[in-house]
Structure formats: C-alpha cells, structure tokens
C-alpha cells in the first residue's frame, strides 16, 4: 500500500511540473498568468518615480507617499520643487560690501526712501533706520575768556578734577567737569565735585535728545553704490562711508 502511495505522489509532481511548463496548452490546460495590467493603467506620472537608494548628487526633491493598491506597499513619489515664479534667488556678489551714512531729518528720510524706491531694488537691499540720541548733561563752569580759562584749569588740576573744554551756545566757552546721560545723574555728579572743593559749577544741558535717520546698504557692489550716489539731492550732500 505504501508503494502505491509513493508512485501516486511521484506521478502527481511530474504532472504538475509538465502543466506549469505549458506542455498541456494544446488541450486547454494552460496555467493562468497574473500580470494585472490594470495597475499600470492607474499609475500617476510614473516618470517622476525615483529610487531612494539611487545615484547620489541628484537635485533635492520633495517627496510624497502615494498609496498602492490594496494589499501592496505604498510607493514614495518625488517631484522637483521649483521656486515660485518671480522670486529672485538672493546670491550676494563676491565684491559686495556694506555702506552707510547718517544724520538725515524725518523729511530727508522720506525723500531718500522715495528716491531709493525708484531704483527698483528689493526691499532688503537698503534700510533707512531711525536713530534716537539721548540728551547729554554736564557739570559746567563758565563762561570764561582765555585768561580765566587758563587760571581755572590750573585750579582744577591742583584738586585732581578732570575737565574738558566745551562751548554751549546758550552759555559760551567753559569747562565740563563730567558728562552724564540725565539731569539727575549730573546733579549727583555736581554734589560729588562740591565735596572735592568745586564751588562755582552748575548743571547744564550740552545736547538735547534728538531723532535722526541713517541709510544702510548691507551688501552692494561698486556699481550699485554709484547708483545710490547718483540720486543726488536726497542724499543732502552726505557721503557714504564703509560700515564699521
């Protein structure tokens, strides 16, 4: 009985091999080939497919996962991501340098903005910035003529008090025995000097608080700098200087 089972199993294997190789095609027993052409027909832009382990050095791409058919793995699809139309690529020229100039009033700054806008440059190519200067106060002695100035300097040196010459329009030539950013600080400084023996000093404002504007060109070529200098009047006679 076992011998017959072995022979039947052997004959079955031989028959299956001959059927799978197409030997029974002539009698209508050809095997079914599952090529599923409908999957090829449903592909979306297959030319954009890129192998993730393909050659290096390709341009960067934006990838998106596209689900496959039921029971099949998802496929990663890639596509190039170009810059939007009309957006320039910001590449600084090798000879680009920074230039600036300050001291413009509010009206001059408005005229400067208008003139620079006519150049058609992108907004980041130039900057008109607000510059706010705090007031400056001094402990002041004066008004002195040349003889009085020399005598007062000698007296201050004798008591080891530092000084500098100043000329305040409302007070005239004199000596500043200390410089401060507020009137309160100057009052305190005068009290300290009084303890050192200074008797005729007073607090005065050397410079009021002010607001001005400056022009900064972060990175321009020599030709671009010449274009700015050629606008003439809006620069109010001021000369561009290299940035620090």
- Would the pLDDT of 241 be above 80? yes
Give the pLDDT band of residue 238 (cuts 50, 70, 90). Answer: very high
Using CA atoms, how far apart are residues 142 and 151, in angstroms rounded to an integer? Answer: 12
Residue 57 banded pLDDT, cuts 50, 70, 90: very low
Does the pLDDT of residue 83 top 60, yes or no?
A: no
**Residue 143 C-alpha from the chain's centroid:** 51
What's the fold here for domain 97-132+211-242? Answer: Alpha-Beta Plaits (3.30.70)
Distance CA 206, CA 171 (A): 10
For the chain, percent of residues with pLDDT exceeding 70? 68
Least confident of 2-11, 77-86, 139-148, 150-159: 77-86
Q: Which residues are paired to 166 by β-bridges?
A: 174
Q: In this predicted model, which residue has the larger pLDDT, 20 or 182?
A: 182
Query: Where do the structural domains in the chain lie, given as residue ranges?
Result: 97-132+211-242, 136-208
pLDDT given for residue 184 in this prediction: 94
Structure tokens at 127: 């900057």
- pLDDT tier at 5, thresholds 50, 70, 90: confident
Q: Where are the beta strands (DSSP E) in the chain?
A: 62-66, 75-79, 97-104, 127-133, 136-142, 164-168, 172-180, 202-207, 210-220, 241-242
Give the highest mean pLDDT range of 31-40, 73-82, 199-208: 199-208
**Concatenated DSSP letters of 150-162:** HHHHHHHHHTT--
* pLDDT for residue 80 is more than 50: no
Tokens of 163: 């000084």
Least confident of 47-56, 116-125, 176-185, 229-238: 47-56
Could you give the CA distance from residue 190 to residue 46 in angstroms, rounded to a whole number?
85
pLDDT in tens, 192-215: 999 999 999 999 999 998 999 999
Q: Which tokens hold the place of 29?
A: 């027993």
Distance in angstroms (rounded) separating the CA atoms of residues 213 and 110: 10
Q: Give the pLDDT confidence score for residue 12 in this predicted structure.
A: 75
pLDDT of 4 higher than 90: no
Q: Is the per-residue pLDDT at 146 higher than 60?
A: yes
Q: How far apart are CA 190 and CA 176, in angstroms?
A: 11
- Report the mean per-residue pLDDT for the chain: 79
Across 50-64, 90-104, 125-139, least confident range: 50-64
């Amino acid at each position: 009985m076992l011998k017959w089972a072995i022979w039947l199993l052997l004959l079955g294997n031989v028959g299956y091999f001959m059927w799978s190789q197409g030997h029974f095609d002539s009698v209508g027993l050809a095997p079914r080939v599952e090529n599923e052409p409908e999957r090829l027909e449903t592909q979306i832009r297959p030319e954009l497919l890129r192998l993730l382990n393909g050659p290096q050095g390709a341009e960067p791409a934006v990838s998106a996962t596209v689900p496959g058919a039921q029971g099949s793995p998802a496929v990663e699809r890639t596509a190039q991501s170009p810059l939007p139309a009309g957006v320039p690529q910001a590449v600084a020229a090798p000879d680009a340098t920074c230039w600036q100039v300050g001291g413009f009033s509010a009206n001059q700054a408005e005229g400067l903005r208008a003139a620079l806008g006519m150049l058609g440059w992108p907004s980041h190519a130039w900057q008109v910035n607000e510059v706010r200067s705090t007031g400056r106060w001094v402990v002041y002695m004066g008004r002195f003529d040349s003889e009085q100035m020399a005598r007062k300097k000698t007296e201050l040196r004798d008591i080891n008090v530092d000084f500098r010459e100043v000329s305040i329009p409302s007070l005239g030539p004199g000596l500043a025995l200390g410089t401060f950013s507020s009137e309160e600080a100057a009052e305190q400084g005068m009290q300290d000097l009084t303890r050192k023996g200074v008797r005729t000093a007073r607090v005065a404002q050397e410079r009021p608080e002010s607001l001005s504007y400056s022009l900064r060109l972060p990175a321009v070529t020599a030709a671009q700098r010449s274009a700015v200098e050629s606008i003439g009047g809006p620069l109010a006679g001021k000369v561009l200087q290299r940035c620090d």
